[in-house]
Structure 1
Amino acid sequence: MTQRIIRAIVTGHTRGLGAALAEQLLSRNIAVLALSRSRNAALAQRYPQTIEEVELDLANPERVAQWIAGDTLRRFVDGADTVLLINNAGVVQPIGPLDTQDVAVIASAVGLNVATPMMLASAVATASVNASDRRIVHISSGAGRNAYPGWSIYCATKAALDHHARSVVLDANRALRICSVAPGVIDTDMQGEIRGSGKEKFPLREKFEELKRDGQLVSPEQCATQLIDFALSDTFGQEPVADIRQITVS
């Protein structure tokens, strides 16, 4: 039986969850097109034949549109049976009440957290029309489903990804599956950034300090395994919004 060809696109692959996702996909012999502002030298050295890196400012939708207009994405997905997009890149800033937020930082966050994932989702769906199986994963957050003080932009952008997935499902394209997945609380640089926020900007900071102190943060590697297993499972896409902590993949 001919083995199905799977190709994956991952954003924000240089650290944290994105690096773990890219590494585990590559370790499963899945070619990865990795998009980020910089390169991951360790992955390039270990998997020179199966990783293709693109340096791209994902917070700049105009630059992203220019890249999409090229042929890199179309060439990468050509001949694949399954195409997997994981929209992982994102930022938590600006943190703080509305009257303390920098409008330029807001624009950058919305570009990275919302515009680029939606643009890439559309681009992948268009470029991979010959693939019999197309899967889109938005890395969302519990903050998209629950409001937190000081996180108005982060909460709003993650909620946008959730609702985007819900709406795409209504298009009823049987060759395309999508799910906006909350990955739980992961031990990444973003968590360090959150714990470093002043209480005047983020009143719930102590809660996240306790999670770290009590060893309740999940490692990027553990989360990546769960996410990839889910994304490649038969159950993926049955629901447009999910929480990885509540999913069992058989």
Structure 2
Amino acid sequence: MSDASSSSSSICAVVTGHTRGFGAALAETLLARGISVLGLSRNRHATLASRGDAAFEQVELDLSSIEEIAQWLGGGQLPRFIGNSERVLLFNNAGTVQPIGPLEVQDPSAVAQSVVLNVAAPLMLSAALAAASTGAADRRIAHISSGAARNAYAGWSVYCATKAALDHHARSVALDSNRALRICSIAPGTLDTDMQAELRDSTDERFPMRGRFVEYKRTGKLATPHDAAVKMIDFVLSDAFGTTPTADLRELP
């Protein structure tokens, strides 16, 4: 995969859920490449903040609250961050696997929170970024999807449904035929993150596949967030990005 020719100084990236796991790895790798990063999360990334990097900004934002997202978007910080960047990236990474379990044990409020965080927030930010970056020659939106978007799993109905929504959003947006805007919903593979720990800490009754994820951890079959972030960013910056609306990081060359 070949990187486009524009310099990294003309690229900026928005990363949601940048304080831990895959989101933190994305933010750190982007900054290491000289790409400006705006992180959006409920908490701040203290380590990145302590570096005093002028290319890094972050906002404490509850992405499970439609009201907070709308209020922040109305404040104008997103277009100010984008400025005159020639290439603008959005990594919709923040998400939750909760609630885990069969339908009858799912807390309706937890279902609603998951739908907002996993679906509404990415779609709202995607629309806002597209509108705020019309002057950029190249805009790229990466939804962080999952194999659960393409396969149904017992006890994971909400997560499967919300990730499938991101896949279908990418498919639909791709039909808009806007050559300056590319989008892809990308499954990063099975990563060694806090989300995996949540699955292992569940029960077989709530998540029948729990044993498989315990085995992945025991046998070292979980990819590191850093390695996945490097491959993800290489793909998003490549000419291949956006040629198909969905992708699996494990299947890329």
**TMscore range, shorter length:** over 0.9
TM-superposed deviation, 1:118: 0.3
Q: How far is the alpha carbon of 1:18 from its aligned partner? A: 0.3
Change (3 A) 1:2 1:154: closer
C-alpha distance in structure 1 between counterparts of 2:143 and 2:240, whole Å: 16
Q: Answer yes or no: is 1:39 the counterpart of 2:44.
A: yes
CA distance in structure 2 between the aligned counterparts of 1:221 and 1:166, rounded to whole angstroms? 27
Alignment of 1:57-96 (within 5 A): 57-96=62-101
CA distance in 1, matches of 2:98, 2:147: 16
Deviations 1:191-246, CA, capped at 9 Å, x for gaps:
00000001110011011111111110000000000000000001100000000001
Aligned twin of 2:129: 124
Quote the Cα distance in structure 2 between the aligned partners of 1:2 and 1:22: 20
Structure 2 partner of 1:48: 53
Given the two structures, how large is their TM-score scaled by the length of structure 2? Answer: 0.96
Q: 1-side partners of 2:98 and 2:64: how far apart? A: 12
1:28 maps to 33
Q: The residue matched to 2:177 in structure 1 has which SS?
A: coil
What is the number of equivalent residue pairs in this alignment?
Answer: 248
User: Cα distance, 1:47 vs. partner?
Assistant: 4.7
Identity %: 60
**Please, which moves more after superposition, 66-75 or 42-51?**
42-51
Residues 154 and 2 of structure 1: is their aligned pair in 2 closer, same or farther, counting only changes over 3 Å? closer
Structure 1 residue runs of 4 or more that deviate by more than 2 Å after TM superposition: 1-4
**Equivalent position amino acid for 1:104 in 2:** S
| Structure 2: gaps (5+ residues) | none
State the alpha-carbon separation in 2 of the partners of residues 47 and 209 from structure 1.
39
- Are residues 1:13 and 2:46 paired? no
Gaps spanning 5+ residues in structure 1: where? none
Q: How does 1:152-231 map to 2 (within 5 A)?
A: 152-231=157-236
Counterpart secondary structure, 1:242: strand
Aligned partners of 2:203, 2:95: CA distance in 1, in Å?
A: 21
Whether the aligned pair in 2 keeps the contact of 1:26 and 1:47 (CA below 8 Å) is no
Secondary structure of the residue aligned to 2:53 is coil
C-alpha separation in 2, matches of 1:2 and 1:221: 24
Do the aligned partners of residues 191 and 2 (structure 1) sit closer, same or farther apart at CA in structure 2, a change above 3 Å counting? closer
What secondary structure does 1:39 align onto? coil
Give the residue type in structure 1 aligned to 2:206: K
Partners of 2:141 and 2:121 lie apart in 1 by 13
AA aligned opposite 1:105: A
Residue aligning to 2:239: 234
- What TM-score do the two structures reach when normalised by structure 1? 0.97
**Distance of 2:80 and 2:72 partners within structure 1:** 13
